[in-house]
A and B are shown apart, each in its own frame.
Chain A
């Protein structure tokens, strides 16, 4: 384990299995914990449906209304940029497509490497900008906790180390690739116990929001 190839094989092997296990266990537990709580029966006469508005809100809530956009353009623009970039780098980089193929048995088309490379660079800058904003904006400063900064770090590291690995900026390659995979494992392990759960639960939250408002006849 103390040699580069040994390190790489360890992070690709048992460490990955453990990280995935903790991730799956934690995430499923969280989702089930949410649904088991359920909702009390609503005796008020409904004015609209729940399912349609619920699903519509899942989509529409991604778009900020013009007033909010005018008041928080940085959050909206930078938020979109780095989230999209992160997802593109994660899901549309060919070596990652192969990873998911090995994991889930399904694959999909990817983007050319140079495109993903450029997107990753922008994502890194976006993440750094988001951190600076969180440290400086009065509201974000007031409501942020150490967890917010931990989550930033475990999200930033995979993107950064991925970039370093792709460009072979640290030698030997098995070391930098191993660091990248290890940083992903850290991300996975931390995921279910932090706000990172929003990657899954935001869709549930948006549905409930749309359902609650929709039942009262409010458009999503």
Chain B
């Protein structure tokens, strides 16, 4: 196999100027909240980076994460990065198919044992579930993941399905779908959730890993703080309206047209941590709230089961109204029975009582 080009060599071959490359490094630095002084280090590291092998396993997924990533319209530095990474296995983007594709995967795993980056999208049926629920080339997702883990340096779980179980794991979860972290215990895991994740977030995470060779700072859900450290609510451009108490009350009403806060239409921004409000989608064109739709909270665990997308965050889940009524009726019956019983006992006591006399009173003196 020919020695891989460095990233710098590849970029020059593709006509990316030094200036353009440095611009990308600066953007990457600021995205990761690194100081401008880091840019030369980023440039130097990326310049020399050998194209690492990346094996991308797609399990119970809708391919939305790949679609998001490749739907970027900006000057295709992301595309170049993808070209520069040696993407040795990816269902949608690879040319090979069938046995050849699997052979390529196994070869790459063997050649780069201990060094390759494993990317997973989609959830997988749990180890105790019927392995036939989701297979690739007759191999169950779980088995394929275990085999790939052996030589992986780190795992990046792309999309909410891989990070938290996502849609397949939503109630009633017929396949017993689990997340990558539910299965992977002894390799570093970075979660990049979103349904799908913001494209630049995926490439930003990969770039950060390339530059530093170690995991970025992660939150309690293993999400990079650089992209998932702020809530949508804290970065939302409509926040002043929330603070003033101005809410749209239905789609297309005056408040909606005036761009007021979408809390009452179901926005989950306050409890959602992602970069949508700052980085936005389609290379910064817009994002759901800006186009008038409440945030779904899609980068959070169990967001599919967290209540209707159009019910406000403060709405109760479950069926509290019927609980209230049922419990109330039960309480009334219990209280009524108990009180009636006590009353009856008292009536007996009263019927049997002896009147108090002055003699009895005097006796106690």
Contacts and interface: CB of A to CB of B under 8 A. Distances in A.
A13 B264 CA distance: 19
Given A94-B245, A98-B264, A25 B334 contact: yes
Interface in B106-162: none
Contacts of A13: 316-318
A4 B343 CA distance: 49
Interface stretch (B26-34, B279-287, B299-307): B299-307
Contacts of B334: 25, 29
A96 interface: yes
B301 A5 contact: yes
A14 interface: yes
Contacts of A102: 311-312, 314-316, 320
A17 B314 contact: no
A174 interface: yes
A193 B316 CA distance: 24
Contacts of A73: none
Contacts, number: 148
Contact of B321 (A14, A30, A104, A114): A104
B242 A113 contact: yes
Interface stretch (B8-16, B73-81, B200-208, B323-331): B323-331
A172 B263 CA distance: 19
A172 B339 contact: no
Taking residues whose C-beta sits less than 8 angstroms from the other chain, chain A's interface range is 35 or more
Interface residues of B, number: 50
Given A5-B271, A6-B301, A177-B271, A24 B315 contact: no
A20 interface: yes
Nearest to B221: A3
Given A25-B328, A173-B233, A17 B318 contact: yes
Interface in A27-48: 27-33, 36-37
B350 to A, nearest CB: 11
A21 interface: yes
The listed residue with most B CB atoms (<10 A of its CB), out of A31, A103, A105, A113, is A113
Contacts of A134: none
A107 to B, nearest CB: 9
A22 B330 CA distance: 10
Given A24-B324, A172-B273, A95 B314 contact: yes
Contacts of A32: 331-332, 335-336, 339
Interface in B332-359: 332, 334-336, 338-340, 343
A192 B233 CA distance: 37
A17 B323 contact: yes
B190 to A, nearest CB: 17
Contacts of B316: 12-13, 16-17, 99, 102-103
A14 B301 CA distance: 17
A195 to B, nearest CB: 18
Contacts of B336: 32-33, 36
B326 to A, nearest CB: 7
A8 interface: yes
A32 B329 CA distance: 10
B308 to A, nearest CB: 9
A75 B47 CA distance: 74
Contacts of B323: 17, 20-21, 24
A33 B301 contact: no
Contact of A29 (B324, B325, B335): B335
Given A17-B318, A29-B338, A36-B339, A94 B247 contact: yes
Contact of B327 (A22, A95, A98): A22
A4 B331 contact: no
A25 B313 contact: no
Contact of A174 (B247, B271, B305): B271
A165 to B, nearest CB: 9
Nearest to B311: A102
B347 to A, nearest CB: 11
12 contacts: A12-B307, A14-B318, A17-B318, A20-B324, A24-B328, A28-B328, A28-B335, A32-B336, A94-B245, A95-B314, A99-B314, A112-B245
Q: Which 10 A-B pairs have the closest CB atoms?
A: A29-B335, A28-B331, A112-B245, A25-B331, A102-B315, A32-B335, A36-B339, A21-B327, A24-B327, A95-B314
